[in-house]
Amino acid sequence: MTATTSSDLQLGRLRHRTLGMLAAGQILGGLGTGAALSVGALAASDLAGESWSGMAATMSTLGAALLAVPLARLADRRGRRISLSTAALIAAAGLGLCIVGITVGQVLLLFLGLAAAGAATAAALQSRFAATDLAEPATRGRDLSLVVWSTTIGSVIGPNLAEPGARFGQALGLPGLAGVFVIAVIAQLLASASYAAFLRPDPLLVSRELRLGLVTETPSTDGEVELEPAGRPGLVRLAIVAVALSHATMVALMAMTPVHLVQGGATLSVVGLTLSLHIAGMFALSPVFGILSDRLGRIPTILIGQALLLGAALVTALGAGMHEAVMTGLILLGLGWSASTVAGSALLSDAAPAADRVRLQGRSDMTMNFAGAAGGALAGPILALIGYHGLALALLIPVAVVTAGCLAGLRRVAAGR
């Protein structure tokens, strides 16, 4: 009994230490990329013209999608420590290439650098799954959501480093915008060193050594956990689709909102406040949704997320001409994304067979980023064709698809399939 208690205490301490390290890495990574991506569009506009400014976010998203699976495979072979530290190094190298591109005036180098910098996003997404490696099934959603929540700090502070970064760059004899990327490089190098030095012992390797999670735990409709040794393929597919389509919905509406607001006469301060509140909705309440997913169940929490996305679409469509309504809709959009992403990610970790869990997590991250890139790319033509209110109403389609999948998933769980 004493040995068992001691072992449990040690595992509990390791869980808390791992969560703290992952959160610190998220803050550093988010600080760097938040600062860099906030000026990436400006740098692209300066180098190639305003029509190319949207490519900054697109290249970063595509880079994250392409790197998700290789980084997951690296984690599967060598552990989370090696994978996350490597991702941060790749991001630092990419951000360094951005500095070169801005300095020599080559937009192609900037875009290639931003694609490599997408490794930071891939690392952030993998970190939320790393939080579940040692988690107990009953707290898996909460632990995952705490790492997601830590992204708030870097995401909020990062964009505000644009002006200090410009002064820093000028002091170094670089173009002003390059200074922000210098800060981002430093942050990524610190994140890489922190992962390499302090993410010990590796949570994924410890989980395998202790044979944790070798039996798949799947939450039932009432939040109770059921054991499934071979995984639940249907729920794995549902989790991947729910996260991907929720992300595409969020990106599509969020990306076009600044354009709509400016065209409607809103000031830049209104645009900034709207996006800040949206980002707060995405991350600040993620622990609430993590706890809900543990207590109510993963699928019911995803349905809550879809209800919030539905509200976001209707509020922005009906109030497209009112800045306050659009702001409210963007807050609901962030909350819906948060609930769906946290619960969907927890469902994937629950339902995937242990032998394939890390690989499927990487596939989910890849699908999520490709869906986001597609959502952002399609949003522009849809906005031009049927307007902002039409774009908002069009987003009811992916919400309906995820909702239908969740209802089918509830029936599948109830039937034990």
Q: Are residues 281 and 360 in the same domain?
A: yes
Percent of the chain with pLDDT over 70: 88
Q: Are residues 247 and 341 in the same domain?
A: yes
How far is CA 58 from its chain centroid?
A: 15
pLDDT, position 159: 64
Asked if residue 249 has pLDDT above 60, the reply is: yes
Quickly tell me which residue has 């995984």 as its tokens: 231
Asked if residue 246 has pLDDT above 90, the reply is: yes
Distances (CA, A) of 367 to 17, 29, 78: 30, 21, 23
Give every CB contact of residue 243 below 8 A, 6+ residues apart in sequence. 340, 341, 344, 345, 348, 364, 367, 368
Per-residue pLDDT, averaged over 379-385, amounts to 86
pTM, to two decimals: 0.83
pLDDT, position 225: 43
Asked if residue 270 has pLDDT above 50, the reply is: yes
Q: Are residues 351 and 382 in the same domain?
A: yes
Q: Are residues 161 and 263 in the same domain?
A: no
Q: Are residues 207 and 222 in the same domain?
A: no
- Report how many domains make up the chain: 2
Asked if residue 135 has pLDDT above 80, the reply is: yes
- pLDDT tens, residue by residue, 78-112: 999 999 999 999 999 999 999 999 999 998 999 99
Per-residue pLDDT, averaged over 222-240, amounts to 70
Q: Which of 212, 239, 257 finishes a domain?
A: 212
Q: Are residues 47 and 163 in the same domain?
A: yes
Q: Are residues 207 and 294 in the same domain?
A: no
Asked if residue 137 has pLDDT above 60, the reply is: yes
- pLDDT tens, residue by residue, 359-376: 999 999 999 999 988 888
Which helix or strand (DSSP H or E) is residue 228 part of? strand 225-228
Which of 23-32, 37-46, 77-86, 128-137 bottoms out in mean pLDDT, i.e. has the lowest?
37-46
Q: Are residues 356 and 227 in the same domain?
A: yes
Q: Which of 179, 212, 245 finishes a domain?
A: 212
pLDDT, position 260: 81
Asked if residue 275 has pLDDT above 80, the reply is: no
Domain of residue 235, CATH code: 1.20.1250.20
* Confidence grade of residue 221 (pLDDT, cut at 50, 70, 90): very low
Q: Are residues 241 and 98 in the same domain?
A: no
Q: Which domain holds residue 197?
A: 1-212
Question: Would residue 132 be called left, alpha or beta, if left means φ above 0 and alpha means ψ between -120 and 50 degrees?
Answer: alpha
Q: Which of 196, 212, 228 finishes a domain?
A: 212
Closest CA to 87 of 202, 234, 188: 188
* Confidence grade of residue 417 (pLDDT, cut at 50, 70, 90): low
Percent of the chain with pLDDT over 90: 51
pLDDT, position 50: 62
Give every CB contact of residue 328 below 8 A, 6+ residues apart in sequence. 315, 319
Q: Are residues 343 and 223 in the same domain?
A: yes
Q: Are residues 248 and 205 in the same domain?
A: no
Asked if residue 36 has pLDDT above 80, the reply is: no
DSSP per residue, 175-223: -HHHHHHHHHHHHHHHHHHHHHHHS-S-HHHHHHHTTTTSSEEEE-TTS
* Confidence grade of residue 51 (pLDDT, cut at 50, 70, 90): low
Q: Are residues 97 and 64 in the same domain?
A: yes
pLDDT, position 224: 42
